[in-house]
Structure formats: C-alpha cells, structure tokens
Amino acid sequence: MDAATFAAVFIALYVAHSVGDHWVQTSHQSAHKGLPGWAGRLADARHVATLTVTKLGLLLPVAFLLGLDLSVLGVVAGLGLDAVSHWWADRRTTLAWLAKVTGKAEFYSLGTPAHPAHPATAEGAPSAHLGTGAYALDQSFHHLWLLVAALLITTV
C-alpha cells in the first residue's frame, strides 16, 4: 500500500458516503431505519445496501482511472465492515447507547427538545438550527469506519 492509494480510496469512500447517506437514502429508509423490530431492520438494510452500492459505484471508476491496485478481497472486506458498522449505528438506539456509555448523552441530545439548553424562540417554540448532536456523532462514527474500510481496501 502507498499513501496515495489510501488517500484516493478514502476520498472516494468519503464522497460516496455523503452522497449515499444524503442523496440516495430515501425518506422512507431515513424515517423507518430506527424503528424497533423487522420493519426498522429491513429499512436500515435497504439503506445500507444502496449506500454500499453507491460506495462501490464511486470507488471502482476512481480505482480504474487512477490505476489503483486493489484486491477484490480488500474491497469486499472494507465495504463489508463499513456496511456492518453503518447498519449498527443507524439503528439509532445502538448509537444512543454508545453515546450514553461514553458520557456523550447530553451532546447526543443537542439540538432536540430533550437537551437541557434546547434551542427555542422567545415564544418557546423550537428554533431552527443546523443539526443535532445525534447527527454529528452519527457522521463521526461513520467517518471512523470509512478510515478503517479504506485501510482494509488498500492493505488486503
């Protein structure tokens, strides 16, 4: 592995993650993937499947155009681990649990009415904001696993 190959793979995965998580994911998947039971599990699985196809769909042309030497095993291992970690986090209760046990529960609730300093207008209604702690922790968790996936893809 060389650093340039790793960098190209990571950038491709990072961009594909953003596209897959925000443009490709359907409203139904987003609204239902955290539900309990099979309905939530299946919505999450459909999201992760389209997300993984998006990552592969961006990674392959990058690898071809840049002449990257990637193994099939490395790509399968990296994208597989990324898919499993993404599915786990997107079940929502799992990431909320991780935030709680790591002392991040208050930050997780930032930007929601559950947070002690939730944003509110003078009338007491929720005010607009740029996101939530849950979203920030979700994306940060995914970015960590994108790094691990890129390492696997470029070293296996």
Q: Round the CA-based radius of gyration of the chain to a whole number and report it.
A: 18
Give the pLDDT confidence score for residue 15 in this predicted structure. 98
Give the pLDDT confidence score for residue 13 in this predicted structure. 98
Residue of 90, 22, 24 whose CA lies nearest to 57: 24
Per-residue pLDDT of the chain (156 residues; tens, 9 = 90+): 699 999 999 999 999 999 999 999 999 999 999 999 999 999 999 999 999 999 999 999 999 999 999 999 999 999 999 999 999 999 999 999 999 999 999 888 877 766 666 666 556 666 656 678 889 999 999 999 999 999 999 999
Q: State the distance between the two ends of the chain, measured CA to CA, in whole angstroms.
A: 9
Give the pLDDT confidence score for residue 132 in this predicted structure. 82
Give the pLDDT confidence score for residue 90 in this predicted structure. 95
Give the pLDDT confidence score for residue 125 in this predicted structure. 66
Verdict on whether the full-model pTM lies above 0.85: yes
**Structural domain total, the chain:** 1
Rounded CA gap, 72 and 29, in Å? 29
Rounded CA gap, 54 and 57, in Å? 5
Give the pLDDT confidence score for residue 129 in this predicted structure. 60
State which residues form the domain around 98: 3-155
Give the pLDDT confidence score for residue 47 in this predicted structure. 98
- Which tokens is 65 given? 């155009």
